[in-house]
A and B are shown apart, each in its own frame.
Chain A
Amino acid sequence: METLYKELKQYFDVDEFSVQKASLAFLRVPKSQLVSLLTHMKDIRGYTHLVMVTCVDYLEQDSFLLTYLLHNYSTHCDLGIQVSISRQNPVMDGIHHLWEQGRVYQRELFEMFGIDFPGSPDVHEPMILEGWQGPPPMRRDFDTKAYSEATYSHRPRDHKEPEEYMKQQLYPED
């Protein structure tokens, strides 16, 4: 994987390379070079399988970290390509022209994190959250407990201490 990183370094501004194990590594790429790097990996390096696209919300650094995980079937290696985008303007280039299934991930990312992918098919259609009107729920500044308490009615709890309760049940005369 280190040789791959050195070769990629000649063409792209990749950095923060980290090897997790012999067959898994991650690297960081600027937002503008992501699609060209993915095209390079798919067409030339043999990373033909898009395993997943996922997102982490770094609220403190005011950024989303997108991870595109690719798999190479001939070497059985995984490469995670990470790109950090601004939290204030979460717009990203789509990869549905490279992998058709990418549009499902992009729909999910729009629904859960509010990251827009202009041009991606059906990206603004509801997928899981039908009729959702609140903010994107997987963002860390969304308070799911407060939303739940405001939206749904909770069953009042009939709380019994298990130890006391079982004592009364089993040995009522004590």
Chain B
Amino acid sequence: MSDIEIKDNPDIKSELQTPPEPGYSEWRKDENTLYNDGLPEEEKDWFCDARPQKARKSVQVIENFLNWARSQSLWILAFGTGCGAIELRPLVTSRYDISRLGMQPRPTPRQANLIMIGGYVSIKTLKRIVRSYEQMQGPKFVVAVCSCAINGGMYWDSYNTVKRIDEYIPVDVYVTGCMPRPEAVLAGFNKLKELIKAGKAEGQNLYIERFDWYKENQKKVIKDWNMPDYNW
């Protein structure tokens, strides 16, 4: 019965027959929107296409206080890509106990502000890393552990491992070693805290500032780019 009513009602009929809107990518192009070229046309409406903006800074005194507060609550997204992820277990347990530094591991990117890359990064993983990093709440920081994340390490001639993670996401602190001891990772975290307190851990703003460069590098190696340009 209801089907017949819709068909007979001229208003609804005319509404159904309106031509579809012009292609999404045609009318949403300006400097503050992203193209999202990797997505199919029907999925472009599902994702936000706004370009990320740099964080605004307040008065220096307040900023110092905020930086101190940020350095005291680093919540880790442990992206265990390689053997370096093993080192997070002794760090969390009672012997090294990073809870006393205000740090704790979190299960999702939305709850974390420090992503820890734990080893070599393959192309498939890089896609997930970029996605996780962009989904994290700002201000966010990156610590790359192990020599594989720095220069490829033993995968220096591998066909599927990126050699420099800092060309794809901004890295604040590197921890060398294959693998580094928990003390070394702890020293890296302390170094990151110093950088944050000094206001020098500006990786997020750097990422937004050089956004096109980072995206170009990412898309050069991730051939099947099927996600939005920025994962809000």
Task: Indicate whether B81 reaches chain A with its CB closer than 8 angstroms.
Answer: no
Chain A interface: which of B130-138, B160-168, B183-191? B160-168
Task: Indicate whether B33 reaches chain A with its CB closer than 8 angstroms.
Answer: no
For B122, the closest partner residue in chain A by CB is A128
Q: Which residues of A contact B167 (CB under 8 A)?
A: 153
Let me know if B158 and A144 touch, CB within 8 A.
yes
Q: Which residues of A contact B151 (CB under 8 A)?
A: 154-155, 157
Q: How far is the CA of A110 from the CA of B223 in the complex (A)?
A: 19
For A138, the closest partner residue in chain B by CB is B159
Interface string of A138-153 (1 = CB under 8 A from B): 0000101101110111
Query: Taking the nearest CB of chain B, how far is it from the CB of A80, in angstroms?
Result: 28
Task: Indicate whether B30 reaches chain A with its CB closer than 8 angstroms.
Answer: no
Residue from the list B124, B157, B159, B163 in contact with A153, Cβ < 8 A: B163
Interface residues of A in 151-173 (CB under 8 A from B): 151-155, 157
For A147, the closest partner residue in chain B by CB is B159
| Among A144, A145, A148: residue with most chain B CB under 10 A | A148
Let me know if A130 and B123 touch, CB within 8 A.
yes
Query: Taking the nearest CB of chain A, how far is it from the CB of B141, in angstroms?
Result: 21
Interface residues of A in 51-101 (CB under 8 A from B): none
Please judge, given known A-B contacts A131-B223, A144-B157, whether A152 and B162 are in contact too, CB under 8 Å: yes
Interface residues on A, range: 20 to 34
Q: How far is the CA of A133 from the CA of B225 in the complex (A)?
A: 13
Q: How far is the CA of A69 from the CA of B165 in the complex (A)?
A: 39
Let me know if A155 and B123 touch, CB within 8 A.
no
Query: Taking the nearest CB of chain A, how far is it from the CB of B226, in angstroms?
Result: 9
Let me know if B164 and A137 touch, CB within 8 A.
no
Task: Indicate whether A129 reaches chain B with its CB closer than 8 angstroms.
Answer: yes
Query: Taking the nearest CB of chain B, how far is it from the CB of A132, in angstroms?
Result: 7
Please judge, given known A-B contacts A130-B124, A132-B223, whether A155 and B159 are in contact too, CB under 8 Å: no
Interface string of B192-232 (1 = CB under 8 A from A): 00000000000000000000000000000111110000000
Residue from the list A130, A137, A154, A157 in contact with B159, Cβ < 8 A: A137
Task: Indicate whether B156 reaches chain A with its CB closer than 8 angstroms.
Answer: yes
Query: Taking the nearest CB of chain B, how far is it from the CB of A96, in angstroms?
Result: 24
Q: Which residues of B contact A128 (CB under 8 A)?
A: 124, 160
Please judge, given known A-B contacts A131-B224, A132-B223, whether A148 and B157 are in contact too, CB under 8 Å: yes
Please judge, given known A-B contacts A153-B163, A154-B151, whether A130 and B127 are in contact too, CB under 8 Å: yes
| Among A130, A133, A137: residue with most chain B CB under 10 A | A130
Let me know if A152 and B124 touch, CB within 8 A.
no
Task: Indicate whether A134 reaches chain B with its CB closer than 8 angstroms.
Answer: yes
Let me know if A134 and B163 touch, CB within 8 A.
no
Task: Indicate whether B150 reaches chain A with its CB closer than 8 angstroms.
Answer: yes
Q: How far is the CA of A30 from the CA of B160 in the complex (A)?
A: 35
Q: How far is the CA of A146 from the CA of B131 in the complex (A)?
A: 29
For B155, the closest partner residue in chain A by CB is A148
For A134, the closest partner residue in chain B by CB is B159
Let me know if A152 and B163 touch, CB within 8 A.
yes
Residue from the list B157, B160, B162, B223 in contact with A133, Cβ < 8 A: B223
Let me know if A145 and B223 touch, CB within 8 A.
no
| Among B156, B162, B221: residue with most chain A CB under 10 A | B156
Q: A133-B223, A152-B164, A153-B167 are in contact. List 20 more A-B contacts (CB 8 A).
A: A128-B124, A128-B160, A129-B123, A129-B124, A129-B160, A130-B222, A131-B222, A131-B223, A131-B224, A137-B160, A142-B159, A144-B157, A144-B159, A148-B156, A151-B221, A152-B152, A152-B162, A152-B221, A153-B163, A155-B151
A-B pairs with the 4 shortest C-beta distances?
Answer: A131-B224, A131-B223, A145-B157, A155-B151
